[in-house]
């Protein structure tokens, strides 16, 4: 029974992830063109239905061909070596419209230039394969889109035939990686929109410190919380792609397990875990403790203050209302009603309320950072449940909003903290995907990535899906 995403390539056994594939292309063991053809075939498959809103096949083929020509001429290849990378339909790609998966932006003109994040991927040799589907305007952790349809979670489909959510908002991006249509997916994370779909599909999602990656040329949800980042198949791929997007050289220090001091918050993040998540999380802690890691329960009572900070919709409501108010007044019928409802909460937030929220967040961040002193990283389940079925969420608003709140609960803590976090798969073969969130404060990116590399290796040795990719 398949529990890890499969790469539909002739080279599957040797090429576990983007890093392997790029090395193989650079060494002449396989052509970029051949691997791209595999990715495009995956994009055409039933598993990728409703994933791409527009395809860039011709451009992608040119990019892959240019890498093969350069290699044949003995030239060094850039890091991504003509491999397929998908782009969430929030980011400008030259020559194509950016519509945020919304009918209300159906008249958007083609972008005149790549946004910085896309330009950096292109310069690194990515074969950009297309704009991927998402929750309209990135406004949910569920991944449902009433305009373009909802991609089915391909990993859970291999375990249970019930169509389940892909997670959001980077729904299409995650499915593109899980099916092999892309080796990495550019997306955004405002309250977990990279990490949630990664967790629900057995992938790796890294939300870096917001200030490290540029957001220009991307449709905003919350200018305070939005982060441009990526979904990958491994932590080493997350390091590679983060370095490209942030235009920096990450230096993750992979300490041995026995040298790690880790915290597990006892407030909020462990509440209401379903059985699959609790089992996978407890097993992960057991593996790390067996390796000598010091894991401490941490009350972290400051997390209880988040409900008050976000009671009126918080930054997402206030800042999305500022961006949408003119368009929403004229085109509300073109919006997903569930999205419009949440945006309109911002209408009641005054300037004084917003300024108070800014100050309250700054004070809250200081309190949390003080409690995290001395730990290498913090551990929690990325989301408290495995992927729920799609059908009940289509017909019930109350069910949808309850599930959305639970999906966002743990991950959104890191955005409010202005922190960084990895989601790493921690389930065993045959089980529904579960994500382990490894997180820390702002600018702890290299530390979190280093801890992630160590934990990924420890789980692989213990029989997690990471070993079988």
Q: Out of 3.40.50.300, 3.30.200.20, 3.30.43.10, 3.90.1300.10, which CATH number does the structure's domain 18-306+353-468 have? A: 3.90.1300.10
- Which regions of 278-395 does DSSP assign to beta strands (E)? 294-298, 377-381
Chain position carrying tokens 């890191």: 414
Over residues 200-225, the mean pLDDT reads 98
Which range has the worst mean pLDDT, 233-237, 405-409, 425-429, 460-464? 460-464
| Residues contacting residue 352 through CB under 8 Å, at least 6 positions apart | none
CB count within 10 Å of CB 149 equals: 12
Tens-digit pLDDT profile for residues 103-133: 999 999 999 999 999 999 999 999 999 999 9
Q: How far apart are CA 101 and CA 105, in angstroms?
A: 8
Over residues 4-23, the mean pLDDT reads 72
Which residues are known to be catalytic? 88, 169, 193
Q: Which of 117, 118, 136, 113 has its CA nearest to residue 128? A: 118
The answer to whether the pTM exceeds 0.75 is: yes
Name the token pair of 57: 């096949």
Q: Return the bridge partners of 439, or none.
A: 378, 421
DSSP string spanning 234-258?
Answer: SHHHHHHHHHHHHTS--------GG
Over residues 295-303, the mean pLDDT reads 97
Q: How far apart are CA 84 and CA 122, in angstroms?
A: 11
Beta carbons of 374 and 261 less than 8 angstroms apart: yes
Question: Do you find a cis peptide bond into 21, omega within 30 degrees of 0?
Answer: no
Indicate if the pLDDT at residue 2 is higher than 90. Answer: no
Tens-digit pLDDT profile for residues 132-154: 999 999 999 999 999 999 999 99
Q: Which of 429, 56, 5, 53 has its CA nearest to residue 183? A: 5
Judged on CB neighbours under 10 Å (0-12, 13-18, 19+), 424 is buried
For the chain, give every residue range classified as CATH 3.90.1300.10.
18-306+353-468
pLDDT bracket for residue 462 (50, 70, 90):
confident
DSSP state of 7: P
């Amino acid at each position: 029974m398949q529990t890890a995403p499969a790469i539909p390539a002739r080279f599957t056994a040797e090429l576990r992830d983007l890093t392997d594939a790029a090395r193989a292309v650079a060494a002449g063991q396989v052509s970029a063109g051949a691997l791209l053809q595999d990715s495009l075939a995956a994009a055409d498959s039933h598993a990728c239905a409703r994933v791409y809103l527009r395809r860039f096949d011709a451009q992608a083929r040119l990019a892959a061909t240019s890498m093969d020509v350069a290699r044949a001429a003995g030239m060094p290849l850039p890091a991504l070596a003509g491999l397929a990378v998908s782009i969430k339909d929030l980011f400008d790609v030259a020559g194509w419209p950016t519509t945020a998966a919304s009918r209300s932006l159906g008249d958007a003109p083609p972008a005149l230039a790549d946004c910085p994040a896309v330009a950096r991927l292109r310069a690194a040799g990515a074969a950009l394969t297309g704009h991927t589907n998402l929750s309209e305007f990135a406004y949910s952790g569920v991944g449902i889109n009433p305009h373009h349809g909802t991609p089915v979670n391909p990993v859970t489909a291999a375990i249970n035939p019930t169509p389940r959510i892909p997670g959001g908002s980077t729904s299409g991006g995650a499915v593109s990686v899980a099916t092999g249509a892309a080796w990495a997916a550019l997306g955004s994370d405002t309250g977990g929109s990279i990490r949630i779909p990664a967790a629900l599909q057995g992938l790796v999602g890294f939300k870096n410190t917001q200030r490290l990656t540029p957001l220009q040329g991307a449709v905003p949800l919350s200018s305070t919380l939005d982060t441009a980042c990526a979904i990958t198949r491994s932590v080493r791929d997350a390091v590679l792609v983060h370095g490209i997007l942030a235009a920096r050289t990450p230096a993750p220090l992979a300490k041995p397990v026995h040298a790690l001091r880790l915290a597990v918050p006892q407030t909020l993040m462990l509440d209401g875990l379903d059985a699959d998540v609790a089992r996978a999380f407890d097993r992960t802690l057991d593996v790390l403790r067996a390796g000598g890691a010091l894991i401490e329960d941490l009350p972290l009572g400051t997390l209880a203050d988040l409900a008050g900070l976000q009671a009126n919709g918080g930054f997402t409501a206030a800042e999305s209302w500022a961006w949408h108010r003119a368009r929403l007044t004229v085109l509300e019928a073109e919006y997903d009603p569930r999205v419009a409802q949440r945006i309109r909460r911002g209408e009641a937030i005054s300037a004084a309320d917003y300024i108070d929220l800014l100050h309250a967040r700054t004070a809250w961040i200081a309190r949390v950072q003080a409690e995290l002193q001395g730990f290498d990283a913090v551990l929690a389940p990325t989301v408290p449940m495995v992927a729920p079925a799609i059908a009940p969420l289509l017909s019930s608003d109350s069910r949808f909003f309850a599930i959305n709140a639970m999906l966002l609960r743990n991950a959104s803590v890191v955005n409010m903290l202005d922190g960084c976090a990895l989601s790493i798969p921690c389930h065993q073969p045959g089980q529904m995907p579960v994500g382990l969130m490894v997180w820390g404060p702002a600018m702890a990116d290299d530390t979190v990535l280093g801890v992630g590399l160590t934990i990924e290796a420890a789980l692989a040795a213990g029989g997690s899906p990471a070993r079988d990719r």
